[in-house]
Amino acid sequence: MEDLYAKKAWELIAMLRGREVSAREVLQSVLRRIEEVEGDVHSYITLTEGEAEQAASRADEALAGGRDPGTAAGVPLAVKDVLCTRGVPTTCGSRMLEGFVPVYDATVIGRLREAGMTMMGKANMDEFAMGSSTENSAFGPTRNPWDLDRVPGGSSGGSAASVAAGEAIWALGSDTGGSIRQPASFCGLVGLKPTYGLVSRYGLVAFASSLDQVGPIARDVRDCALLLSLIAGYDPRDSTSLQVKVADYLEALEGDIRGLRVGVPGELMQEGLTPGVRANVENALRLFAELGAEVEETTLPHLDYALSAYYILAPAEASSNLARYDGVRYGLRVEGEDMLEMYGRTRAAGFGAEVKRRIMLGTYALSAGYYEAYYGQAQKVRTLILGDFRRAFERFDVLVSPTSPTPAFALGEKVEDPLAMYLSDVCTIPVNLAGIPAVSIPCGLEDGLPVGLQIMGKALGEAELLRVARVMEEALGFRERPRVARGEA
């Protein structure tokens, strides 16, 4: 029998309800796996075994008493360490917040607690979600379970690696420019970035407020749909949260894609793709057609400027969002002769190089005399990109591209070259700028490393998006599993 830690959430939920296994057994299996591989993978910043054991016991008691333990009960979940968890340290992968313990739960955490969540731990990440490799964590990098010499992607690298390695069944990540989809792609998983406003941001430590979304990372589309249904929905604490009725994502999975109009933006299939990525994506496009979809190349001309606009807007918001880390009220403080010196020393010691780089970029872009040329211009580009997508979705139901131009790259490969690192998100960033949903599903391997297919949908079109992803997942039949070992090369 397959180890419990390797099962999908929906399988475990059925087994728990059928009393085939107990929540404690599932947890024990995952804990043993953590013992085996965590030393190599380093998915977690903080493990919460104690809390998980209590949650598992509660689930078992409820099940034994014939009560509903909650949908998420007994299925160990990794939570990206950017979500506030009451009583559990929340670091955002930064020295700045070392030892910071939130006094409140993020809305998504509160909802999952209601659903009986078994939180396994707080997953590693690039500092303040800035990065594409999880190498920017102050607590050391996470390694890719498919090849320990490679990165798991980022910034939700810990979340993705934990699910891929069997250290959690599913995970929460956050996505500002691809931070759920790209690590899901690098780790052979399904990751969904919801429509901006579908999932509450309350308690998600802000990187770039107008782009950030919380979303699921899981082993298949069904788990993704299930986890999304548990966290989605209007939250009065988040003014940007949308007042819409949440669709039944599980029910929506049924059906086919006959007649589906699929657009392939040429801008996302340009140079820079590795041969394996190109081949796997083209194979997927052939499958779309075989299943009765109409596949057509299209153009979203302003996507060529998406990366530039993103690297103005996101750092600008970040420079302001991260101003609160000053040593006055919480987190790290390095004393100085006076207030300004304390600010300077605290921020110099607390933030890593990439965070500092983006704070400087953003501060500059917002400065008097430069605002129009940078921030103002980038906002205009964003509006144009939104227009491109709106027009495209008049003709197409979904748009398809690679999730990342390459499979997982080697640890250290891009650390010294921020621009090369930024290019890793070239296919995912436009989605955040437009606020639309997108999912990454595995579509094959290149040299033993997973390749991700990105499917983009209309705003609030998650139900259709997940159905398309489920149909394609089945057709692609990706069943590979990581070995959790070093690569051959």
Report, as residue numbers or ranges, the catalytic residues.
Answer: 80, 155, 179
Minimum CB distance to other proteins, residue 27 (Å): 27
* Nearest CA-CA partner of 188 in 440, 450, 403, 453: 450
- Name the residue nearer to other proteins (CB basis): 12 or 106: 106
* Nearest CA-CA partner of 306 in 384, 400, 213, 193: 384
Kindly indicate which of the ranges 33-41, 118-126, 165-173, 368-376 contains the residues binding other proteins, using the contact rule CB under 8 A.
368-376
Kindly indicate which of the ranges 32-40, 113-121, 202-210, 411-419 contains the residues binding other proteins, using the contact rule CB under 8 A.
202-210
- Name the residue nearer to other proteins (CB basis): 164 or 208: 208
Minimum CB distance to other proteins, residue 337 (Å): 12
Residues that bind other proteins (rule: CB under 8 A) add up to a total of 42
Total length of the chain: 489
Taking the mean position of all CA atoms in its chain, how far away is CA 343? Answer: 31
Kindly indicate which of the ranges 205-213, 283-291, 395-403, 477-485 contains the residues binding other proteins, using the contact rule CB under 8 A.
205-213
CB 438 within 8 A of CB 304: no
CB 130 within 8 A of CB 136: yes
Contacts of 248 by beta carbon, 8 Å cutoff, 6+ apart? 229, 463
Minimum CB distance to other proteins, residue 193 (Å): 17
Kindly indicate which of the ranges 43-51, 201-209, 348-356, 470-478 contains the residues binding other proteins, using the contact rule CB under 8 A.
201-209
458 binds other proteins (CB under 8 A): no
Minimum CB distance to other proteins, residue 345 (Å): 14
* Nearest CA-CA partner of 205 in 324, 114, 87: 324
Residues between 288 and 347 that touch other proteins (CB under 8 A): 316-317, 319-320, 323-324, 326, 328-330, 339, 343
206 binds other proteins (CB under 8 A): yes
DSSP string, 360-382: HHHHHHHSTTTTIIIIIHHHHHH
CB 168 within 8 A of CB 77: yes
Which of 63, 83, 287, 451 binds other proteins (CB under 8 A)? It is 83
Contact track, other proteins, 4-23, x by CB under 8 A: --------------------
Provide the token pair at 91.
Answer: 């670091």
Minimum CB distance to other proteins, residue 312 (Å): 11
Pairing between β-strand 213-218 and β-strand 261-265 as defined by DSSP bridges:
unpaired
- Determine how many CB atoms are found less than 10 A away from the CB of residue 446: 17
Which of 10, 139, 186, 202 binds other proteins (CB under 8 A)? It is 202
- Name the residue nearer to other proteins (CB basis): 158 or 203: 203
- Name the residue nearer to other proteins (CB basis): 42 or 201: 201
Kindly indicate which of the ranges 197-205, 421-429, 439-447, 469-477 contains the residues binding other proteins, using the contact rule CB under 8 A.
197-205
Which of 102, 215, 265, 482 binds other proteins (CB under 8 A)? It is 102
* φ and ψ of 81, to 5 deg: -75, 25
CA separation for the pair 472, 299 (Å, rounded): 23
234 binds other proteins (CB under 8 A): no
CB 73 within 8 A of CB 206: no
Residue 111 is inside which H or E element, if any? helix 107-114
Which of 67, 68, 240, 341 binds other proteins (CB under 8 A)? It is 240
172 binds other proteins (CB under 8 A): no
CA angle 243, 204, 6 (to 5 degrees): 100
Which of 2, 39, 103, 489 binds other proteins (CB under 8 A)? It is 103
Place of tokens 């050391």: 140
Which of 9, 26, 72, 106 binds other proteins (CB under 8 A)? It is 106
* φ and ψ of 239, to 5 deg: -65, -20
- Specify the amino acid at residue 96: M
371 binds other proteins (CB under 8 A): yes
Q: Which residues pair with 446 in a beta bridge?
A: 449
28 binds other proteins (CB under 8 A): no
Contact track, other proteins, 372-391, x by CB under 8 A: ---x----------------
Residue 155, preceding bond cis, omega within 30 degrees? yes
CB 272 within 8 A of CB 405: yes
Minimum CB distance to other proteins, residue 319 (Å): 8
Which of 7, 193, 201, 302 binds other proteins (CB under 8 A)? It is 201
- Name the residue nearer to other proteins (CB basis): 244 or 323: 323
- Specify the amino acid at residue 163: V
Which of 69, 110, 173, 203 binds other proteins (CB under 8 A)? It is 203
Sign of CA dihedral 101, 104, 106, 111: positive
The strands making up 170-175's β-sheet, listed across from edge to edge, are: 44-47, 118-123, 76-80, 170-175, 213-218, 190-193, 438-446, 449-456, 398-402, 261-265, 294-298
- Name the residue nearer to other proteins (CB basis): 57 or 210: 210
- Name the residue nearer to other proteins (CB basis): 312 or 400: 312
* Nearest CA-CA partner of 162 in 27, 51, 44: 44
Which of 1, 39, 239, 488 binds other proteins (CB under 8 A)? It is 239
The residues binding other proteins (CB under 8 A) are 83-84, 90, 92, 97, 100, 102-104, 106, 201-206, 208-210, 236-240, 316-317, 319-320, 323-324, 326, 328-330, 339, 343, 363, 366-368, 371, 375
